[in-house]
Chain A
Amino acid sequence: MAHQAHSYHMVDPSPWPIFGAAAALLTTSGLIMWFHYNSSQLLALGLLSMVLVMIQWWRDIVRESTFQGHHTPTVQKGLRYGMILFITSEAFFFLGFFWAFFHSSLAPTPELGGQWPPTGIHPLNPLEVPLLNTAILLASGVTVTWAHHSITESNRKQAIHALTLTVLLGLYFTALQATEYYEAPFSIADGVYGSTFFVATGFHGLHVIIGSSFLSICLLRLIKFHFTSNHHFGFEAAAWYWHFVDVIWLFLYMTIYWWGS
């Protein structure tokens, strides 16, 4: 078997990139069929194939790293850069929605009654469930850091406890936010207030679900002994993402929930 004279990872040929691209085609076309022709089969097919590709692609990365040892320090450095760049791109994504919010709320038009919140809108009290949600996400930031320290100190039981608590807090946030959505006296169709509120908090909620899923996978891998005390980048990436989700919530809370009420 030929040995490489460099520390990079030359991956095996894989079908997941092209299948992933096809899944994206199916999902986007599926959205069109659903919006315009009230038909949801293509969308369902697209989402299903997207999930299958994600599972198998990330499964293969775990195989390549934990089981085949391809993730040298050089490779890990590249993954760190990649995750930082991805999170930065997500930050810009949210920046757009914050821009939209301030565009409409700093100079409210006569159609809104010249005020913010607009006439007729009763915003949620920021000191009720939203404040609890803030406490929950801040606490989850503490528990994920606790889990990280436990991993580096080879304390398996504590790491599992701390990461489980983090995931539970994330699920608690999602459940509370879902009830808030259900009980809110305004909807996404209630003018620009509804649009900015639900699009910004909605995408944030989606990211909480993504982050919770990522952390759950890390919990499973932690239980299965995949992480060592000095090599656990998958967990670090999940923790970075989770802190990012927390920071976005803090901005949402201060601007939309508190200043905007």
Chain B
Amino acid sequence: QGLKPIVSTESPALIFGTTTKLASDLPATDSFLGKNKVPDLQKLFQQADGLPVHLKRGVPDKLLYRTTMALTIGGTIYCLVALYMASQPRNQ
């Protein structure tokens, strides 16, 4: 993984085949597949804003919550109507 921007005094003309020794120089939190955003998220979710965890991120959480509520509550009403109709005797 010679792709990490390491602070180095070598010239930038590193040949890929000779970078194997750099693997041991990589710190545990290297940038293989993205960098660590957990500390920022920890700060976000620990803000003392009184919001419950399911709404803590603001607008996207609210939208998803309202969509789920609409589907479940609307669906429950539809379900009760459907079951009421299904329980009516059908005479030929």
Given known A19-B69, A22-B72, A225-B38, contact A14–B78 (CB-CB < 8 A) = no
Q: In angstroms, how far is the closest chain B Cβ from the Cβ of A156?
A: 6
- Mask for B64-92, Cβ within 8 A of A = 1, else 0? 11011101110110110011001000000
CB within 8 Å for A56 and B71 given contacts A156-B32, A160-B33, A225-B36:
no
In the complex, what residues of A have CB within 8 A of residue B42's CB? 66-69
Count contacts on A: residues with CB < 8 A to the other chain.
41
A230 to chain B, nearest CB (A): 13
Q: Is the interface of A mostly helix, strand, loop or mixed?
A: helix
Mask of B1-43 contacts with A, CB within 8 angstroms, 1/0: 1000000000000000000000000001110111011100110
A48–B30 touching, CB < 8 Å: no
CB of B2 to closest CB in A, whole Å:
13
* Chain A residues within an 8 Å CB radius of B65: 15, 56
Contact mask A14-57 → B, CB, 8 Å, 1/0?
11100100110110011011001100001001101100110010
A156 touches B28 (CB 8 A): yes
Shortest CB distance A74–B (Å): 19
User: Across the interface, which residues of B come within 8 angstroms of A188, CB to CB?
Assistant: none
Give the contacts of B41-62 with A (CB-CB under 8 A).
41-42, 44-46, 48, 52-54, 56
For the complex formed, measure the closest distance between the CB of B78 and the CB atoms of chain A, giving whole angstroms: 7
Count of chain B residues near A, Cβ 8 A: 35
Cβ contacts under 8 Å, B38 to chain A: 66-67, 224-226
Q: Does A223 count as interface, using CB distance less than 8 angstroms? A: yes
A156 to B36, CA, bound (A): 12
Complex formed: what's the CA distance from A30 to B33 in Å?
42
Nearest Cβ distance between residue B79 and chain A, in whole angstroms? 5
In the complex, residue of chain A having the shortest beta-carbon distance to the beta carbon of B34: A223
> How far apart are the CA atoms of A226 and B71 in the complex, in Å?
31
Given A49-B68, A225-B37, A33-B53 contact (CB < 8 Å)? no
Task: Name the residue among B32, B54, B73, B75 with the largest chain A CB count within 10 angstroms.
Answer: B75
Q: Let me know if A67 and B45 touch, CB within 8 A.
A: yes
The A205-242 residues at the B interface (CB cut-off 8 A) are: 223-226
Report whether B68 and A29 are in contact in the complex, using a CB–CB cutoff of 8 Å: no
The interface residues of chain B lying within 8 Å CB-to-CB of A11 are 53
Q: From A19, which residue of chain B is reached at the shortest CB distance?
A: B72
Contact of B53 among A14, A29, A69, A226 (CB under 8 A): A14
Q: Which 6 A-B pairs have the closest CB atoms?
A: A67-B45, A12-B52, A22-B72, A225-B36, A45-B75, A52-B68
Residues of chain B having any CB pair with chain A under 8 Å: 1, 28-30, 32-34, 36-38, 41-42, 44-46, 48, 52-54, 56, 64-65, 67-69, 71-73, 75-76, 78-79, 82-83, 86
* Subset of 7 A-B contacts with CB under 8 Å: A15-B65, A22-B73, A29-B83, A46-B75, A52-B67, A60-B54, A67-B42
